Amino acid sequence: MRITLRDIQRMRDGGERIAMVTAYDHPSAVLAERAGVPMLLVGDSLGMVVQGRESTLPVTLDDMARHAAAVVRGTERALVVADLPFLTYATEADAVAGARRLMGEAGAGAVKLEGGAAVTAVVARLTALGVPVMGHLGFTPQAQHQIGLRVQGKDAAAARQLLADALALEDAGAFAIVLELVPAPLAAAITARLRIPTIGIGAGAGCSGQVQVWHDILGVGTGRVPRHAKPYAAIGPAIEAALKSYVADVASGAFPTAAQSAGMDEAALAQALS
């Protein structure tokens, strides 16, 4: 049985912190599920960490649907949330069409979209149609050209706006809200005012759960790792070292050996070559 919104809400109500991580492909999804991750995010961060782009803005609905489908195929239990990309939810009709791709076709269990008051009508419409929506406030990467790459909500006015946006998303029907790059005390205060879970990233320990980008916490990526990410492994260097050994073995002839090769009856070969 897949984890449902009720399970996620129950975890929050019971004070059980919710671990979420991004995943973009089938093997990652299988490993995350084996590790017991209840909620996976197919994030549009794939634009950077998978596609080598500078931001999430060029990511398309086709990209999201393809990666979401691979992640869904790798899971039986996890709730798979997929990002609606930049400018695919500016109108209710677009948002509905996007949710149809990500949930109806790719098989995701929920969608995520960025913003506060500006998207509450879209959130309400999707929710009314049976689409679970995760909100995303604070640093919202799709708006980075407006807001810059920095912690959000640091002064009183911005903090008040963040709280108002969070309450508006909850009222509109969002089942959870990502808080990204928000001061820890503010994220804790918002979490205390909401009934739905908050999922923090660079927002301190006072959220109902945490989300991190796969490449950042596993040391897979080649880019800059944000301050809020803790390295749980160094997979990138392990891959590089393994591939160096492989290259050396191919060069020296140490790979492949008979163990990795198929033999053939000598007489049959002689006959074939005569």
Residues recognised as catalytic:
180
CB 157 within 8 A of CB 205: no
Look at the alpha carbons of 175, 181, 184, 189 in this order and tell me if their dihedral is positive or negative.
negative
Q: Residue 33 carries which DSSP code?
A: H
Beta carbon of residue 237, minimum distance to Na ion (angstroms, whole number): 26
**How many chain residues are in contact with ligand KIV, going by CB under 6 A?**
12
Contact pattern from residue 171 through residue 210 relative to ligand KIV, giving x for each residue in contact according to CB under 6 A and a dash for the rest: -------x-x--------------------x---------
End-to-end CA distance of the chain: 62
Beta carbon nearer to ligand KIV, 128 or 198: 198
Beta carbon nearer to ligand KIV, 172 or 201: 201
Beta carbon of residue 107, minimum distance to ligand KIV (angstroms, whole number): 18
Contact pattern from residue 32 through residue 51 relative to ligand KIV, giving x for each residue in contact according to CB under 6 A and a dash for the rest: ---------x-xxx------
Beta carbon of residue 184, minimum distance to ligand KIV (angstroms, whole number): 17
**Single residue of 33, 83, 165, 170 touching ligand KIV by CB under 6 A:** 83
Beta carbon nearer to ligand KIV, 151 or 255: 151
Beta carbon of residue 201, minimum distance to ligand KIV (angstroms, whole number): 5
SS3 content of the chain, % helix, strand, coil (to 5): 45, 15, 40
Which pair of structure tokens corresponds to residue 189?
Answer: 């205060």
Which pair of structure tokens corresponds to residue 164?
Answer: 């108002």
Beta carbon nearer to ligand KIV, 188 or 214: 214
Beta carbon nearer to ligand KIV, 44 or 165: 44
Secondary structure class of 55 (helix, strand, coil): coil
Beta carbon of residue 59, minimum distance to Na ion (angstroms, whole number): 9
What is the spatial distance between Cα 173 and Cα 169, in angstroms, rounded to a whole number? 6
Contacted by 213, from Na ion, ligand KIV, none: CB < 5 to 8 Å by type? ligand KIV
Is 171 part of any known ligand binding site? no
Could you tell me which residues are beta bridge partners of residue 133?
111
**Single residue of 44, 165, 170, 216 touching Na ion by CB under 5 A:** 44
Q: How many CB atoms lie within 10 A of CB 207?
A: 25
Reported for 7-12, long-range contacts at CB under 8 A and 24+ positions apart, including other chains, are: 7/38, 7/79, 8/38, 8/39, 8/79, 8/175, 8/176, 8/197, 9/175, 9/196, 9/197, 11/38, 11/197, 11/208, 11/209, 12/196, 12/197, 12/208, 12/209
What is the spatial distance between Cα 201 and Cα 209, in angstroms, rounded to a whole number? 9
Contacted by 165, from Na ion, ligand KIV, none: CB < 5 to 8 Å by type? none
Using CB under 6 A, list all residues that contact ligand KIV.
22, 41, 43-45, 83, 136, 178, 180, 201, 211, 213
Please state the residue numbers annotated as binding site for Mg(2+).
Answer: 44, 83, 114
Please state the residue numbers annotated as binding site for 3-methyl-2-oxobutanoate.
Answer: 44-45, 83, 112
